[in-house]
Amino acid sequence: MRYGHSEGHTEVCFDDSGKFIVTCGNDGDVRIWEGLDDDDPKFITVGEKAYSLALKNNKLVTASSNNTVQIHTFPDGDPDGILTRFTTNATHVTFNSSGSRVAAGSSDFMVKVVEVSDSSQQKTLRGHEAPVLSVTFDPKDDFLASASCDGNVVVWNIKEQSQLISWPLLQKTNDVSNAKSLCRLAWQPGTAKFLAVPVESKVQLYERGSWDHVSTLSDDLLTQLVNVVAWSPCGQFLAAGSVGGSLNVWDVSSKLCVERQKHEKGFTVCGLAWHPSGSQIAYTDTEGCLGLLDGLRTSTSNSTNTASKQAVVTKPAKDYDALFDDDDDDRVMDEGVRSRAILDDENSLDTGSLKLGQEKCGDDDDTGSGVVPAAPLVPLRPAYEGPMPTPPQKAFQPGSTPAHLTHRFMMWNSVGIVRDYNDEQDNAIDVEFHDTAVHHAMHLTNTLGHTMADLSQEAVLLACPGTDELASKLQCLHFSSWDTNKEWMVDLPQGEDVRALCLGQGWAAVATSTLMIRVFSIGGVQREIFSLPGNVVCMVAHGEQLLIVYHRGFDGEQALGVQLLQFGPRKRQLIHGEPLPLSHRSYLSWLGFTAEDGVVRMLNRSVGNTWTPVCNTRETCKSKSDSYWVVGIHENPQQLRLPVPSHSAPTCCGHPALQAASVSDLHRERTDGGKHSQHIRHYKLVLLRDIETQYLPGEQYCRSLLFSNHFSFLSSSGYEIDEEAQSQSQKDQQELLMKMFALLFILHVFFQLSCKLEREFRCVELAELMTQKVVTLAIRYASRSRRMALAQRLSVNPFAKEAVSPVKTNLTPITKGGRANPFKVLGSGKPSSASGQPRVTNILDNMTTSRKSFPLSGPAGKQNKNTVLKPLAPRPKTKTQSTLLQMSGTKASNKKTQQNTQPAADRQKQPEAPPPASPADNTENKRPKTGFQFWLEENRKSITADNPDLEETDVIKEAMGRFRTLSAEDRLVRNTGRSEGRVPIRGEGHIRDGVLENL
């Protein structure tokens, strides 16, 4: 219900497509609404007052106060001539069914029928003795019915311009303004069988041809005069609006009232129009308000002649379906629906109704819903008045304002603000960063019509919904990339629309209308695809975590589910799939992570409650008022549309634990794996077609990624079995390795493609997914295609894949390939092809020698180590590029050593301990600490100096601890240096040990 015109008589109709609602009113304007929410309707001024309007074939006919009937074009509103004139104003105009003629009734007692194409061809129907109230065409164009203030309803023969029949049905008055009822007549469309005439509080139906009064539609609760009637487009239902503001819909075949509504304020309904689809009724009242009656049954059911019982049962079910716009779930026809259906037919006092109810009772028994028809005794209630379900909310972006605003925030988060300006002159997007150090502000022209955005420290992600011609697009401005080509765009498959999106660290996720989540790397590679159990509501990301809220189904309130996913470098684990607590009749309005610690909390604005759904503690904080718009939980809620925040944040505390036991994780992953493999089958259909790359490698890549997922799972499980049955795991892993190779090959193909397309950043991203072996190939490829910068970057990258390497290292025999090569430190040390390896080494050597301070090249690096070396203190990090390799290596190995130190120390204490945890440790145990011995010799003094009171065994223990805190390279350098250089004690095996130990 909304205000539309100034008070006075108003009329309403839909345009032919049903897209617009068109109203006219006392202010002389015709307004064209795109929907009830349209705050800025187009308007056409047709005169000082508009009495009536009719719209067909993009011609808008209005009766205005200057005694004319005019045509305007629709929707442009250009004047298209005057159709006819009267001596006083026309009261009602209407089109015939084909739109070729217009009939107009006037206060000068005349009715005119005019050809739209040629206004000179007029037929005048004289005979009324008072102002004409309304006119309506026979759909077959033979007759015309009119009602007049003289109390008569007359049917005219248009051709002969004569009165066919006249019924004195109405009260006599002297003017339209004094008439109690407007008596809008309506002729049944299609079959043209009935003419509906509102008489007092009933609607009488007259049969065409015989002109007999065949039936009366009435309702006990309808006590006031019926003002207007309108047939549904299918001709099966008749809607009536009364002076008292009630709206009724009857099923004409069964004469049952299927819908009752009361005008909110009880104003007189004076205009009524059905949507062409039959699913909505628009109405206007004498106070100038426009209302929409939604969720009506559709017109498609063609059951006029079938049993009314069926009609009644199916209709409300459809009614409910309409409520859930896209949930085509037949199960929603629950008890409530059924009882409603029963109530409905009880209400009509038709003789058949009791029988009908009993019949349906039988039906109910069949389906087992067991609704007892106790209702016939109960006094009549107009409609279902039980608790109505909260309609499921649509997908939204947290931190954005509604999409229909012309100036709106597409995103306001802790990084910055994305604004959208969408008006006549300009359609643009402004990106502004809170911290100007991140990036300067950006201004983009929004040619694609993006409606969703997310912003992170790395990139801006934009998406637009698809149209008929254009697919839904995802655009990413990766401004933090060093690549000159900072932008990428993907088209989603036809019929798949972006519903929600978010940016994590190094990746982007998109939820689509086909219940799919697609995860892209920030450079534009599709990394993951999986389906969601329900329609997405919103998504947020933080770091490597993705939080998704989706609809879980329906139980009266909104049932939302939460999933938290971790896209770690090693594992992708599903942490949650729980219901989101949401209070009664409320909507989720914001969702986010806190900035500090990644703890998930949710804030629900409509009730002002904050939830911490991840743990069981549930905070409820009242926000100051509804007008605050949550931007982030770690910041103050910012006032809507005002960039000035002024209120304290709802304080939230508590840090729910997100850890899950590793065993259950594995378990979950296994079930996940099942889901993935299901997806593989559809893969060809749903896969993204990257505009720039070819279809095949992309698909292969994604598929192989899934495989690799599966294999990482496999490998981790194999890893555990290892403890018990090593031989079996060996077999497994061998198999895995074979498949890995296949995957890597595909990766390489993809890499080459990207390389050709000058997507260097993407290349590096891909390289991160590769293993050592393939990276060397990639580097070779890059250098051969004269992309030295890329090759260099690849060589500097911490490309060792942790998830893969531990498996392979202990499997494959290691051959020493020439010289100590930086890659050896991090890589898996797989057998390298004889031709490939030396060449790569050459390239790298060239590069490293050209840079003076490359830390690991030869003895210089070693010396460097010796001087800097402070066993227990972490090495200060430098930011120069040349040390990048060193840094990443340190980090990785630090992690490793931290993990390893504890068990290793334990082993030292209890050498006879049960079988070691992993094969890597195993080998370590068998041939202990050769590199360590050398190191110990060197450092014994410092250790004893630090701790003079230590026993010999304690010294060794201490030394052991220190040695393990050293970085992998350090130890390697130590080992290799010793073996290659001065004291070759044990030769090759030695080095192998060193490498193994470090991995």
Partner 1 sequence: MDASEVEFLAEKETVKIIPNFSLDKIYLIGGDLGPFNPGLPVDVPVWLALNLKQRQKCRIVPPAWMDVDKLEEMRDLERKEDTFTPVPSPYYMELTKLLLNFASDNIPKADEIRTLVKDIWDTRIAKLRLSADSFISQLEAHAKLDNLTLMEINTIRAFLLDSLNCLYKLRSNQHPGSSKGQFADF
Under the binding rule (CB under 8 A), the answer on residue 685 touching partner 1 is: no
* 204 alpha-carbon distance from chain centroid: 49
Q: Map tokens 């050597």 to a residue.
A: 845
Smallest CA-to-CA distance from 741 within 781, 707, 791, 694 is with 707
* Joined tokens for residue 592: 């986010």
* Joined tokens for residue 405: 């605003």
Q: How far is the CB of 635 from partner 1 (least distance, A)?
A: 6
Considering the complex, state which of residue 169 and residue 595 has its C-beta at the smaller distance from partner 1. 595
Under the binding rule (CB under 8 A), the answer on residue 442 touching partner 1 is: no
* Contacting partner 1 within 456-515 (CB under 8 A): none
Q: What is the DSSP letter of 184?
A: B
Residue 198: CB partners within 8 Å, gap ≥ 6?
181, 183, 184, 185, 204, 225, 226, 227, 228, 229, 240
> Is residue 812 a contact partner of residue 830, using CB atoms and an 8 Å limit?
yes
C-alpha dist (Å) from residue 675 to 369, 521, 533, 716: 34, 21, 11, 19
Considering the complex, state which of residue 432 and residue 969 has its C-beta at the smaller distance from partner 1. 432
Q: Map tokens 């205000």 to a residue.
A: 3
Crossing angle of the two packed helices 919-926 and 884-909, in degrees rounded to 10: 70
Under the binding rule (CB under 8 A), the answer on residue 416 touching partner 1 is: yes
Considering the complex, state which of residue 302 and residue 651 has its C-beta at the smaller distance from partner 1. 651
Binds partner 1 (CB under 8 A): choice among 276, 645, 798, 903: 645
Considering the complex, state which of residue 373 and residue 645 has its C-beta at the smaller distance from partner 1. 645
Considering the complex, state which of residue 432 and residue 768 has its C-beta at the smaller distance from partner 1. 432
Instruction: Give the strand pairing for 507-512 and 21-24.
Output: unpaired
Considering the complex, state which of residue 437 and residue 661 has its C-beta at the smaller distance from partner 1. 437
Taking contact as CB under 8 A, which single stretch among the options 433-441, 468-476, 491-499, 607-615 is the one that binds partner 1?
Answer: 433-441
Q: How far is the CB of 654 from partner 1 (least distance, A)?
A: 22
* 958 alpha-carbon distance from chain centroid: 56
Smallest CA-to-CA distance from 27 within 227, 243, 287 is with 287
Under the binding rule (CB under 8 A), the answer on residue 146 touching partner 1 is: no
Residue 636: CB partners within 8 Å, gap ≥ 6?
645, 646, 647, 648, 649
* Contacting partner 1 within 617-636 (CB under 8 A): 635-636
Taking contact as CB under 8 A, which single stretch among the options 264-272, 366-374, 375-383, 430-438 is the one that binds partner 1?
Answer: 430-438
* 117 alpha-carbon distance from chain centroid: 48
Enumerate long-range contacts of 847-850, CB under 8 Å, 24 or more apart. Answer: 847/791, 847/792, 847/795, 848/822
Instruction: Give the strand pairing for 79-85 and 29-33.
Output: unpaired
Binds partner 1 (CB under 8 A): choice among 26, 339, 414, 975: 414
Measured distance between the N- and C-terminal CA atoms of the chain, rounded to whole angstroms: 70
Q: How far is the CB of 596 from partner 1 (least distance, A)?
A: 11
Alpha-carbon distance of 822 to 812, in angstroms, equals: 19
* Joined tokens for residue 415: 């990084």
Taking contact as CB under 8 A, which single stretch among the options 381-389, 641-649, 776-784, 868-876 is the one that binds partner 1?
Answer: 641-649
Q: How far is the CB of 435 from partner 1 (least distance, A)?
A: 3
Smallest CA-to-CA distance from 588 within 551, 634, 637 is with 551
Q: How far is the CB of 482 from partner 1 (least distance, A)?
A: 22
Q: How far is the CB of 436 from partner 1 (least distance, A)?
A: 5
Considering the complex, state which of residue 566 and residue 636 has its C-beta at the smaller distance from partner 1. 636
Q: How far is the CB of 649 from partner 1 (least distance, A)?
A: 10
Angle at 606 between CA 402 and CA 498, to 5 degrees: 35
Considering the complex, state which of residue 6 and residue 636 has its C-beta at the smaller distance from partner 1. 636
Taking contact as CB under 8 A, which single stretch among the options 21-29, 428-436, 518-526, 534-542 is the one that binds partner 1?
Answer: 428-436
Considering the complex, state which of residue 81 and residue 643 has its C-beta at the smaller distance from partner 1. 643
Considering the complex, state which of residue 122 and residue 639 has its C-beta at the smaller distance from partner 1. 639
Taking contact as CB under 8 A, which single stretch among the options 450-458, 639-647, 775-783, 922-930 is the one that binds partner 1?
Answer: 639-647
Binds partner 1 (CB under 8 A): choice among 76, 435, 937, 946: 435
Taking contact as CB under 8 A, which single stretch among the options 132-140, 287-295, 367-375, 429-437 is the one that binds partner 1?
Answer: 429-437
Q: What is the CA radius of gyration of the chain?
A: 39
Under the binding rule (CB under 8 A), the answer on residue 644 touching partner 1 is: yes
* Contacting partner 1 within 826-845 (CB under 8 A): none
Residue 24 pairs in a beta bridge with 11, 30
Q: How far is the CB of 241 from partner 1 (least distance, A)?
A: 44
Q: In 636-675, at which residue ranges do the beta strands (DSSP E only) sit?
A: 638-639
Greatest Cα pair distance in the chain: 127
Considering the complex, state which of residue 105 and residue 416 has its C-beta at the smaller distance from partner 1. 416
Q: How far is the CB of 644 from partner 1 (least distance, A)?
A: 6
Q: How far is the CB of 631 from partner 1 (least distance, A)?
A: 9
C-alpha dist (Å) from residue 273 to 15, 282, 438, 687: 10, 5, 55, 44
Number of residues in contact with partner 1, rule: CB under 8 A?
A: 13
Considering the complex, state which of residue 73 and residue 646 has its C-beta at the smaller distance from partner 1. 646
Q: How far is the CB of 433 from partner 1 (least distance, A)?
A: 7
Considering the complex, state which of residue 4 and residue 416 has its C-beta at the smaller distance from partner 1. 416
Considering the complex, state which of residue 438 and residue 658 has its C-beta at the smaller distance from partner 1. 438
Count the Cβ atoms, other than its own, within 10 Å of residue 644.
Answer: 6
Length, in residues, of the chain: 999
Q: How far is the CB of 628 from partner 1 (least distance, A)?
A: 14
Instruction: Give the strand pairing for 452-455 and 152-157.
Output: unpaired
Binds partner 1 (CB under 8 A): choice among 187, 231, 433, 935: 433
Taking contact as CB under 8 A, which single stretch among the options 1-9, 637-645, 817-825, 947-955 is the one that binds partner 1?
Answer: 637-645
Considering the complex, state which of residue 145 and residue 459 has its C-beta at the smaller distance from partner 1. 459
Considering the complex, state which of residue 174 and residue 646 has its C-beta at the smaller distance from partner 1. 646
Q: How far is the CB of 453 from partner 1 (least distance, A)?
A: 17
Which of 7-28 are b and which e, b meaning 16 or more Cβ less than 10 Å from the residue's Cβ? eebbbbbbbeeeebbbbbbbbb
Alpha-carbon distance of 292 to 306, in angstroms, equals: 30
Considering the complex, state which of residue 392 and residue 416 has its C-beta at the smaller distance from partner 1. 416
C-alpha dist (Å) from residue 375 to 315, 344, 346, 706: 20, 10, 8, 57
Taking contact as CB under 8 A, which single stretch among the options 70-78, 227-235, 378-386, 434-442 is the one that binds partner 1?
Answer: 434-442
Considering the complex, state which of residue 491 and residue 635 has its C-beta at the smaller distance from partner 1. 635
Q: How far is the CB of 424 from partner 1 (least distance, A)?
A: 25
Q: How far is the CB of 646 from partner 1 (least distance, A)?
A: 8
Q: How far is the CB of 636 from partner 1 (least distance, A)?
A: 7
Residue 567 pairs in a beta bridge with 572
Q: Interface mask (CB under 8 A) for partner 1, residues 231-270, using x and -? A: ----------------------------------------
Q: How far is the CB of 622 from partner 1 (least distance, A)?
A: 21
Under the binding rule (CB under 8 A), the answer on residue 436 touching partner 1 is: yes
Binds partner 1 (CB under 8 A): choice among 372, 377, 378, 437: 437
Q: How far is the CB of 399 from partner 1 (least distance, A)?
A: 12
Alpha-carbon distance of 80 to 60, in angstroms, equals: 9
> Is residue 520 a contact partner of residue 484, using CB atoms and an 8 Å limit?
no
> Is residue 916 a contact partner of residue 810, using CB atoms and an 8 Å limit?
no
The sign of the CA dihedral 745, 746, 749, 753 is: negative
Interface residues with partner 1 (CB under 8 A) are 414, 416, 433-437, 635-636, 643-646
